[in-house]
């Protein structure tokens, strides 16, 4: 299930957070080859892993299998500091807008070309549920444009902030994706199919 870790409860999740940083290192450095993020201790962290970050961990039997991070846009964030070239115009900022970063899922638990994997589904649903509970209505995403159609199909109202550009060898587009109750309903509908899929695989 999804665990939300913030400055308020980080002391109770110190082991899991370390696992999450190791997962990030495996995915972003070892797998995707983002060499600038490489750390000798095999734990990927950056300047945004501070007291303002909201970490979402998918934990199963003590193992962190999925991760994503949300950053407030009322302060400097990845798009404004690291990828300003992706944003043509003023970067979104507001208490109801957060930036979705470092989404990653353990290699063996990703979708195999079919529907969203249960871990991916839980992470995505986690953002929307968390958002709807906390008066957050939009997320800023820097992503491969291949994801755009899926977000549109999930009833996110997506607006591009710039045209796609290659980042670390991968086409990347910055968007702002608004969501509401309909998005959650759509995600909920997706769920049974995912479960049936998982059962069939097992």
Partner 1 sequence: MSRTLLDRTLEFVKLVDAAQSPSEVASIVLKCAAPHGFEQVFAGTMPGARERAAKQRAHVILDHWPQSWLSRYFSRGYLVVDPTIKRVRAGAPAFYWRDLIETRDDPVAQRVMDEATDFGLRQGLTVSLLTLDGHAAGLSLAGGRIEHHPRLKGMMTLVASYALGQCFGLDKAARAAPVDLTNREIDVLRWLAEGKSDRDISQILSISEHTVDKYLRSAFAKLGVANRASAVAKAIRARVIV
Instruction: Using CB under 8 A, list all residues that contact partner 1.
Output: 88-89, 111, 113-116, 145-150, 152-154, 159-160, 162-165, 171, 173, 185, 188-193, 195-196
DSSP reduced 3-state for 179:
coil
CB of 124 to partner 1, least distance (A): 11
End-to-end CA distance of the chain: 19
CB of 142 to partner 1, least distance (A): 14
Q: Would you say 4 or 115 has its CB closer to partner 1?
A: 115
Q: Which residue has the tokens 């970050």?
A: 53
Rounded-to-integer distance, Cα 73 and Cα 79, Å:
9
CB of 189 to partner 1, least distance (A): 6
Q: Would you say 63 or 189 has its CB closer to partner 1?
A: 189
Phi/psi of residue 23, nearest 5 degrees: -60, -45
Q: Would you say 6 or 153 has its CB closer to partner 1?
A: 153
Rounded-to-integer distance, Cα 83 and Cα 18, Å:
26
């Amino acid at each position: 299930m999804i665990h939300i870790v913030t400055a308020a409860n980080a002391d109770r999740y110190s082991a899991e957070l370390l696992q999450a940083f190791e997962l990030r290192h495996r995915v972003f450095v070892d797998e995707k080859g983002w060499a600038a993020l490489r750390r000798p201790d095999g734990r990927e962290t950056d300047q945004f892993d501070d007291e303002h970050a909201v970490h979402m961990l998918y934990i199963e039997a003590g193992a962190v299998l999925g991760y994503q991070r949300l950053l407030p846009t009322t302060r400097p964030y990845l798009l404004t500091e690291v990828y300003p070239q992706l944003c043509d115009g003023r970067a979104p900022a507001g208490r109801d807008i957060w930036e979705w970063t470092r989404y990653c899922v353990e290699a063996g638990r990703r979708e195999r070309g079919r529907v969203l994997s249960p871990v991916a589904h839980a992470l995505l649903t986690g953002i929307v549920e968390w958002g709807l509970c906390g008066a957050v209505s939009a997320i800023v995403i820097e992503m491969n444009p291949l994801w755009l159609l899926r977000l549109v199909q999930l009833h996110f109202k997506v607006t591009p902030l710039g045209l796609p550009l290659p980042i670390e060898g991968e086409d990347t587009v910055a968007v702002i994706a608004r969501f509401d109750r309909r998005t959650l309903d759509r995600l909920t509908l997706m769920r049974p199919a995912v479960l049936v899929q998982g059962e069939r695989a097992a």
